[in-house]
Structure 1
Amino acid sequence: MAHLLGSPACMDSLRKDLTDLQGAIVDVFSRAGPVRFPSWKFPDRAACDLDMVALLEHYDHVPGDPEFTQLAHAVLLELVIDR
């Protein structure tokens, strides 16, 4: 599995999953209102206040930087847990 860390295909799939999860969360929030709980990944912020667009833009595959790409992959996995 370690050979998949930083894989563009895996990261793209995670990004799509996060987008789908965020869409479901926004749908629930529109009906019930935001739920104020700390984010698992960013405990200093409320989970409902995370700017997912900015996070998805920042943590992306960078072809010339495998170290950052692997970090970004791990962060995307953590954001799935956070959602």
Structure 2
Amino acid sequence: MSQFLGRRDCVESLRRDLVDLQGATVDVFSRTGPVRFSSWKFPDKLSCNLDMVALLEQYDFTAGDEAFSQHSHIVLLELVIDR
């Protein structure tokens, strides 16, 4: 499984999944109001207050920087869990 860590297609797929999950979350919040629980990834923040746009800008595939791409892959997986 480690051969997939940090690959462009995997990172892009996770980013699309997060955009879809965030859209579903915003849709639910529009009907119920925000759910005020601590974020799993960032326990010092409420999950409803995470700036997903900024996080997606920060964590992305970076050609030529395998270590950062692998780090981004892991962070994006953790954000999927957080959502």
Structure 1 length as normaliser, TM-score?
Answer: 0.98
Q: In structure 1, the residue corresponding to 2:63 is in which secondary structure?
A: coil
Gaps of 5+ in 2: none
Report 1:54-65 matches (<5 A).
54-65=54-65
Q: Deviations over 1:29-61 (max 9, x none)?
A: 000000100000000000000000000010000
**Amino acid in the other structure paired with 2:49:** D
> 1:28 aligns to what?
28
C-alpha separation in 1, matches of 2:11 and 2:66? 13
Q: Separation in 2 of the partners of 1:7 and 1:64?
A: 11
Report how far residue 64 of structure 1 moved: 1.6
Matched, 1:12 2:15: no
Query: Which whole-Å CA distance do the structure 1 matches of 2:17 and 2:29 have between them?
Result: 18
Over 2 Å off, 4+ runs: none
Q: Give the partner amino acid of 1:22.
A: Q
- The Cα RMSD (Å) is 0.5
Q: Higher RCO, 1 or 2 (CA under 8 Å, sep at least 6)?
A: 2
* Structure 1 alignment gaps of length 5 or more: none
Deviation at 1:71, TM superposition (A): 0.4
- Per-residue deviation at 1:65? 1.0
2-side partners of 1:63 and 1:8: how far apart?
Answer: 8
